[in-house]
Amino acid sequence: MAANDPSNAAAGPDEARTTGGAPPTDGQQESADAKTTLPDSPASIAGKSTTKPRRSRKIAPRKSIRVLRQVRRASQILFFALFVFLLVQTAFRGSFSAATDSPVRLPWPVEGFLLFDPLAALITLLSAHTVYRGMLWSLVVVALTLIFGRAFCGWVCPLGSLNHFLGWIAPSKRGRGTARVEANRTHPLRQSIKYYLLYGVLGAALAGSAIGGVFDPICLSVRSIGLVVLPASSYVTGKALGTATDSNVAFLQKTSDAVQDVLTTHVWQAKQSYYAGAWFIALLFVAALVMNRFVPRFWCRVLCPLGALLGVTSRFALFGIQKKHDNCTDCNLCLLHCQGADSPQGGAAWRQDECHVCLNCESVCPDDVIRFRFLPDRKGTTPGPNTQRRTALATVAAGAAFVPASRIGDTLDVNYDPRNIRPPGAVDEREFLARCIRCGECMKVCPNNALQPAVTQAGVEGLWTPVLVPRIGYCEQSCVLCSQVCPTGAIRKITEKDRLGVGKRPVKLGTAFYDHGRCLPWAMQTPCIVCEEFCPTSPKAIWVEEVEVPVRDASPGPDGAPPAMRTVKLQRPHVDPSLCIGCGACEKVCPVQDQPAIRVSNVGESRSRTNVILLEKSKYRS
């Protein structure tokens, strides 16, 4: 029997080899993938190689493949540049009008990459039981995957291209030559992690949560570059240009002003943007990129759930690799340049679900072993992931269990966090959590920097969903840009007329409340009506009551007597909850710096029938 064959027993993983034209069996795959006969490989140094390397015939690759490889590189550059361009254009650099007949819209479909995202579409389909109309474009990517395999990962995905570039330009010193060949071999256990992560994401979606958007590569790219990289670049550039302006050197001042004008007009927003918890987003993004120094395209191979979804779909692809195993001379050039760790070398079964269709392997193969073609011979192919059924089911169950486990923390049903103020047009909270994929588009486009990624305001399940933080910025009364860029319908499309309440009630985000112990006219008899002056509603939701109150002089009386008393006229502000829309302008401008004397809570928001003060909307009304 094979199990008792001495030659099999003596062979180690570095020595295993399948001979002849037939591909190895599944049981031989891992050992076949581990072989190498480079001059400096461990097997060669130890003198243990079971076969003598044959001399390469140096057959030139097909011209069509060489051309397609260059086209692929151009495609990566083009789509990454397009992605960054759309992200930069996710901003409004004009001014708003209170008129409803002058709508403000972005001229570009800045959410375009998200609309083509199959994972985001599948998550919202499972969690909300509907697909937002724009996300039907994701079927284009599915169709292309059924034809060409995971070409989206190797040709289009901005995060994949960024990982590819960084892994090429800044590899570790220990990640070159033979070490890179070993890193590019198929590692079934490591590369199966992304499939289990996909199963967990889909399990959570089945339970009604789109929390899986945290791991979506397109969402991760928008969130990380839009909320961290661009604001950080703006900050550093602003400091550098400010230093030049303060130098009192005329040339530097003029150059600084000119550059600042160009950047403010076309790249940055007029004011510096700040985002809560940006350090955590940055930490995860940088960690994913740094891992490329050790494992090429670490994110794509190990963690990407979109790549896993496309990998499962690509098993039906019409385009793929066909090998001539007998021609292989073990030069390992294909492994050295492989982006997907999909075992392109001869004598190993090709992992179709891992291939990014980068075409590097055929381009560098000197022996005509590898050929990409339509309808290839599938005998030497492993079409799909080799995940354990029980582990997969357990992962789905864990993802589904996460949702009720996070919701029993009482932030959703019984003890609503008053800071959880959602954007105008947001759907009811439960449906919002089922639709929001945490992409960050709404936060990036907010002209006043008012929308922030939630950290604790919405519980664990609401991590990085948008919340209004009035102390950072208020919600512009006539702005509906966040509803324009939302790709999933978590923020429904509304118009200026809907927002302002022309012919109906206006969209209400919450209600403002005064803290009389901190309000200057109430607590310190000091004149102040800044909040009333900035209230944007008509008629104003903040009204003032004129009163006469006693106040003491600041200095004591003669001979240590108590300060004299006098009477002053004050205007004490009040909030009319029926007119307040919860925009946060009053809280933003309150002069009490540490904790404002007026704060906005989400109570009374239009989207909820239970989170109310006035019972006219409540289901309890008889």
Tell me the percentage of the chain whose pLDDT exceeds 90: 63
pLDDT at 446: 95
Strand 565-575 relative to strand 370-374: parallel, antiparallel, unpaired? unpaired
8 A C-beta contact, residue 367 and residue 59 = yes
Q: Is residue 168 part of a domain?
A: no
pLDDT at 53: 54
Q: Is residue 352 part of a domain?
A: no
Give the residue numbers spanning the domain of 522. 508-551+566-608
Q: How far from the centroid of its chain's Cα atoms is residue 338's Cα? A: 26
The 10s digit of each residue's pLDDT in 411-426 is 676 777 899 999 999 9
pLDDT > 80? residue 243? yes
Tell me the percentage of the chain whose pLDDT exceeds 70: 87
The 10s digit of each residue's pLDDT in 36-81 is 333 333 333 333 344 445 666 678 888 999 999 999 999 999 999 9
Query: Higher pLDDT residue, 373 or 102?
Result: 373
pLDDT band for position 616 (cuts 50, 70, 90): low
Q: How far from the centroid of its chain's Cα atoms is residue 152's Cα? A: 17
Q: Is residue 323 part of a domain?
A: no
pLDDT at 14: 34
Give the dihedral sign, CA 578/579/581/582: negative
- Per the structure, the count of domains in the chain is 2
pLDDT > 50? residue 562? yes
pLDDT at 26: 40
pLDDT at 614: 65
pLDDT > 50? residue 441? yes
pLDDT > 80? residue 13? no
Residue bearing tokens 């690799």: 321
Q: Is residue 454 part of a domain?
A: no
8 A C-beta contact, residue 96 and residue 474 = no
What CATH number is given to the structural domain containing 603? 3.30.70.20
pLDDT > 50? residue 156? yes
Q: Is residue 335 part of a domain?
A: no
Euclidean distance between CA atoms 50 and 34, whole angstroms: 13
Q: Is residue 254 part of a domain?
A: no
Q: Is residue 40 part of a domain?
A: yes
DSSP 476: P
pLDDT at 554: 81
Query: Higher pLDDT residue, 619 or 206?
Result: 206
pTM for this prediction: 0.86
pLDDT > 90? residue 216? yes
Euclidean distance between CA atoms 435 and 129, whole angstroms: 10
The 10s digit of each residue's pLDDT in 308-351 is 999 999 989 999 999 999 899 999 999 999 999 999 999 899 99
Orientation of helix 217-224 relative to helix 158-169, angle to 10°? 70
Element (DSSP H or E) covering residue 432: helix 429-435
- Amino acid of residue 520: L
Q: Is residue 588 part of a domain?
A: yes
| Nearest C-alpha neighbor of 103 from the set 493, 588, 541 | 493
